Amino acid sequence: MQAEIKLKKGKEESLQRRHPWIFSGALQSVPQGIEEGDLVTVRASDGTLIGTGHYQIGSIAVRMLAFGAETLPEGFFASRLSEAAALRRALGLIRPDNDCFRLVHGEGDFLPGLIIDIYADTAVVQAHSPGMHFCRFQIAQALTQIEGLGVRNVYYKSETTLPYKARLDPENEYLIGSYNGSVATENGLQFNIDWLRGQKTGFFVDQRENRLLLQHLAQGRKVLNMFCYTGGFSVYALRGGARWVDSVDSSSKAVSLTQANVDLNFPGCNHHRAIDEDAFKFLTTMESGEYDLIVLDPPAFAKHRKALHNGLQGYRRLNAKAFEKIAPGGILFTFSCSQVVTREQFRLAVFSAAAQSGRNVRILYQLSQPADHPIDICHPEGEYLKGLVLYVE
């Protein structure tokens, strides 16, 4: 029998609207003997059943997995994962020329605390909650059984994503299969993906559609791909006929990965350079008018609410540099992946930077995360990636 948790009076409202988080302040009491990662049955103060979720110590005390169920139904993970796969299939993401996509985007796939990215026949699984950590073997097994997905290896990578205080000491390891190469295909382009040593699950699949848009605008342009990481935007720019591409990152590993990905797709390419340099330093010292297409895709400047003010200043300063230096008629792709920064706040930060430059700036596109990073309509917190494509006169 799993433990039962009762909510304080009135605290069931957001759950009735199917928001999947229960904050610790909403609990009437925590039952004796309950442990982090346990499945719990949640009831309203009058005893009405709300559903089942994973318990955790922290400000989010329960992440709901199934509404209206006392416990998880048989085959729960197999069925949620199949639904996730069916959605990606419907989106046209599983194709011979595209075998890299996000299969599970946490709350957006009704699996809070779980991220799964697919790279050809390898699935990289990331648990963000102790509950998901304890379910990792079940999840891995279910993954290999999804028809048409072709997952042979499951790499578990949660060393840095699980709450440190839970003392789970997870190891990054293969739960099923082993390393057998790491080239995946995105929209017909090939990428070496280093899930063993790379950031997050190894690749930012969330920029796939934005990279494709950049490809269509890159013809004849001189491109600066700032914060290039694996060089995704650079490779698409080259396919789009860019005259020259400079890829910049302050990590030497990222710079070599970018060069390797350019070589993989365009062997002998003589109009690309990968540069190991700090963004602000590079943008400050580069000549005005050198580039007419600039991509700014920095790491999250505000990782939590307390860092919001400084984060917004960071976006403003970064974008101000680009507006100051971009060639007339230039196109700027600028992004924020900070979940705590709203679309409006980001736009305002970029707007102040534009105003400061005194140039005419128009918004061409307003970008977002792609459909394999869906947002549960009851969980607006799931929206994190925002971008603007700007035309600078």
- Catalytic residues, which ones? 337
> Could you tell me which residues come within 8 angstroms of residue 255 by beta carbon, excluding any fewer than 6 positions away?
228, 247, 249, 274, 275, 276
Gap between the terminal Cα atoms of the chain: 66
Give the shortest CB-198-to-ligand SAH separation in angstroms.
9
User: Between residues 297 and 376, which has the closer beta carbon with respect to ligand SAH?
Assistant: 297
Give the shortest CB-357-to-ligand SAH separation in angstroms.
21
Q: Is 254 in the site for ligand SAH (CB under 6 A)?
A: yes
User: Between residues 39 and 283, which has the closer beta carbon with respect to ligand SAH?
Assistant: 283
Cα(274)–Cα(336) distance, integer angstroms: 23
Among residues 297, 334, 374, 388, which is the contact residue for ligand SAH, using CB under 6 A? 297
The stretch among 111-119, 212-220, 246-254, 351-359 that binds ligand SAH (CB under 6 A) is: 246-254
**What are the start-end ranges of the H helices in the chain?**
13-16, 76-90, 130-134, 136-144, 208-217, 232-239, 252-265, 279-285, 308-325, 343-357
Among residues 24, 251, 284, 366, which is the contact residue for ligand SAH, using CB under 6 A? 251
Q: Is 21 in the site for ligand SAH (CB under 6 A)?
A: no
User: Between residues 76 and 233, which has the closer beta carbon with respect to ligand SAH?
Assistant: 233
Q: Is 315 in the site for ligand SAH (CB under 6 A)?
A: no
Q: Answer for the pair 166, 36: CB distance below 8 angstroms, yes or no.
A: yes
Among residues 55, 76, 229, 323, which is the contact residue for ligand SAH, using CB under 6 A? 229
Q: Answer for the pair 7, 27: CB distance below 8 angstroms, yes or no.
A: yes
Q: Is 230 in the site for ligand SAH (CB under 6 A)?
A: yes
Name the one residue in this structure whose structure tokens are 């990073």: 373
Among 324, 312, 328, which Cα is nearest to 284's?
Answer: 324
The pair of structure tokens assigned to 12 is 């069931």
Q: Answer for the pair 42, 21: CB distance below 8 angstroms, yes or no.
A: no
The stretch among 6-14, 22-30, 226-234, 310-318 that binds ligand SAH (CB under 6 A) is: 226-234
Among 229, 227, 222, 327, which Cα is nearest to 271's?
Answer: 222
Q: How big is the site for ligand SAH, counted in residues (CB under 6 A)?
A: 17
Q: Is 368 in the site for ligand SAH (CB under 6 A)?
A: no
Among residues 73, 220, 299, 329, which is the contact residue for ligand SAH, using CB under 6 A? 299
Query: Phi and psi for 179 in degrees, rounded to 5?
Result: -70, 125
Name the one residue in this structure whose structure tokens are 């705590």: 340
Query: Phi and psi for 77 in degrees, rounded to 5?
Result: -65, -40
The stretch among 9-17, 28-36, 168-176, 292-300 that binds ligand SAH (CB under 6 A) is: 292-300
User: Between residues 122 and 234, which has the closer beta carbon with respect to ligand SAH?
Assistant: 234
Among residues 227, 291, 301, 333, which is the contact residue for ligand SAH, using CB under 6 A? 227
Residues that bind ligand SAH (CB under 6 A): 204, 207, 227-230, 232-233, 249-251, 254, 278-279, 297-299
